[in-house]
Structure 1
């Protein structure tokens, strides 16, 4: 297949705008996503198969760049390259369909998503007419909230958003993608070393082994890095001190507190074994890893055990992600309650994380609330509330937009962020870590130096 055949096209609705659809949620800032403010394009690796949950199909990824050409705004141009060589791959029809399905999921391009966009905008107009006042930011909001190409990636990233600060969330996501690259490019013997061999009772010996494995991995990756070509499309520069933050995606969750979080001793990122990142790891790539190694390598703390259990449950067939996602095709309160109950049975999915996942799936009538919601309602609506009353007060404000309460709340919150930090789609990648609580005040925001991109 020639270079011209490595370009896929995806028809769009007349009102679709790629920039608005991507830069609508903090998930777009998390690795392996890379938004380019100059070309207004999204780049990241995607899997060549949609069947990676509980099968033995190897995880093969390609790099894609998605753009909306000015000369053809009614379709997306998707450029596909081999991750290793950068050349145009030969894609079967099945592989092309898999890539397009992942792009559609990220950008919410299904018929149900299009219907939600139309219905939300209709309700916004209706409320504006009834109240005699129009909220321009809500009218301009795309009605789409960016998400990941797979439900598994969404679920793990929702875990990463809990009980930590935004710079660390960014770094944990990046570390997982670095690890995926390491697993793909190291020898099989190193991958085998990740599998736990020591009984739980011999914790001290296992920690010694993990330390040796990590050292061995670092050494091998350094050798691999020295002999490989630098891939600037995959080289990211997301670093920075951990600060108290207000997250631009799902904010820090102080309500759904976890005692494990208090025991996390690591407050800085571990040294990276390489400066290359791969795709977001699949369940099968994570399922057999050693928990202590994963926690240390990616600075995950207590989240490592929960992520491993999720991956193992998917690989073992106990958790059926496709079934979960297919269920939401019938949007109803009964369906929502069924999914919420199923998610609550998974370790690590408390109310905040669970509601965020349900938003990713496509339910917008429940707002995931936390300390950032409390701050926003007080600052914007002059409503004092607590963790016990925030859901009730939020419903009293946004209930008129039912069943799209979250979209109304999120468009308002996103507008609040952009008033303080400028248009987030124009923010350089290296500045994402600046979106913290210490920079949220008007006085402080004037001191924040934005890197020029023009």
Structure 2
């Protein structure tokens, strides 16, 4: 990961218009700001400022490799679909939807970015406010589980192992349907997921039964979403907070050892109560404010994440 994948010349070019997002959007800032961009099957290429990864076509089973870029002064994100010459309109719509979700290209996302930047001058100065996420809610959910109770290097290894299950599908991240056809024991042994295998397998079954749909409404509150997520096995406070950030609810700062370390090292704070005192002034974007600080800490320590070679991803931790 991190090096250009050898692709054939047959390809199809798609354009995702930025619309009103154009004034606040920067691909590197929107991409390289969260650990998810380092996790398989994502492959960020610093030399070309391009993300390569597989995405699914409309049938939800066929995967195609894409390269996502944003040339200077272009009003659209460019998506090269490789090893294919003609794709259906439904396939095009599906790919554009997945990329739009990853980079938060929508009117609602743009409103949130501008609101956050207006209350946080440093975020506006750095062009931050879009937290990178996966093409699907299911991938975000599984990766949220992979982040829990382990070191960052192990999280990266588990994500890679799950993608390696998909050799015939360009090593794409497995869908809920694909995982539900396996067994808990197989996932546990093959991907070394340990106790997470049960949670991920049950999550896949839940998704296949249509029980993972959160039915978000404009009036949905983060308390409602947290209540729904916390009833799913494997979703403690940290996984819930992480997935809620992916969905677009930033009121809850994910609390783990890295969060505690950050508070102790940078603010000399160590109590959960201090989270509210420090970040509530940025409501409803407390988690984004925290993440901006954490990103700044990492980049002071390791350099710009968008320039970091993939073989160094495992070092990006404060522990």
TM > 0.5 fold call? yes
Q: Following superposition of structure 1 onto structure 2, how do residues 25-424 of structure 1 map, counting pairs within 5 Å? A: 25-49=34-58, 57=59, 59-70=61-72, 72-81=73-82, 87-125=83-121, 136=122, 139-181=125-167, 184=168, 278-317=171-210, 319-321=211-213, 324=214, 326-327=215-216, 329-330=217-218, 332=220, 335-383=221-269, 385=270, 389-390=271-272, 392-424=273-305
How many residues are aligned here?
A: 308
Cα drift, residue 58 of structure 1: 5.6
Q: Measure the CA separation in 2 of the matches of 1:77 and 1:394.
A: 39
Does the CA contact (< 8 Å) of 2:261 and 2:318 recur in 1?
no
1:323-369 deviation digits (Å, cap 9, x = unpaired): x1x50x5155xx32222121112111111111111111000111111
Q: Measure the CA separation in 1 of the matches of 2:212 and 2:202.
A: 14
Q: Measure the CA separation in 2 of the matches of 1:171 and 1:121.
A: 34
**Given the superposition, is the C-alpha separation of residues 138 and 407 from structure 1 closer, same or farther in structure 2, using an over 3 Å criterion?**
farther
**Given the superposition, is the C-alpha separation of residues 5 and 331 from structure 1 closer, same or farther in structure 2, using an over 3 Å criterion?**
farther
1:122-151 deviation digits (Å, cap 9, x = unpaired): 1124xxxxxxxxxx4663141110000000
1:10 is aligned to: 16
**Given the superposition, is the C-alpha separation of residues 31 and 115 from structure 1 closer, same or farther in structure 2, using an over 3 Å criterion?**
same
1:433 is aligned to: 314
Q: Measure the CA separation in 2 of the matches of 1:437 and 1:142.
A: 21
1:369-393 deviation digits (Å, cap 9, x = unpaired): 122111111211122x2xxx32x20
Which blocks of at least 5 consecutive residues in structure 1 are unaligned? 50-56, 82-86, 126-135, 186-276, 439-454
Does the CA contact (< 8 Å) of 1:138 and 1:412 recur in 2?
no
Cα drift, residue 437 of structure 1: 4.5
Does the CA contact (< 8 Å) of 2:117 and 2:123 recur in 1?
no
Q: Measure the CA separation in 1 of the matches of 2:192 and 2:124.
A: 37
Cα drift, residue 89 of structure 1: 3.6
Q: Measure the CA separation in 2 of the matches of 1:368 and 1:433.
A: 20
TM-score of the two chains, using structure 1 as the length reference? 0.65
Does the CA contact (< 8 Å) of 1:137 and 1:412 recur in 2?
no
Which blocks of at least 5 consecutive residues in structure 2 are unaligned? 1-8
**Given the superposition, is the C-alpha separation of residues 64 and 379 from structure 1 closer, same or farther in structure 2, using an over 3 Å criterion?**
same
TM-score of the two chains, using structure 2 as the length reference? 0.92
Task: Kindly report the root-mean-square deviation, in angstroms, between the aligned alpha carbons of the 2 structures.
Answer: 1.8
SS at match of 2:67: strand
Q: Radius of gyration: which is bigger?
A: 1
SS at match of 1:6: strand
Cα drift, residue 15 of structure 1: 2.6
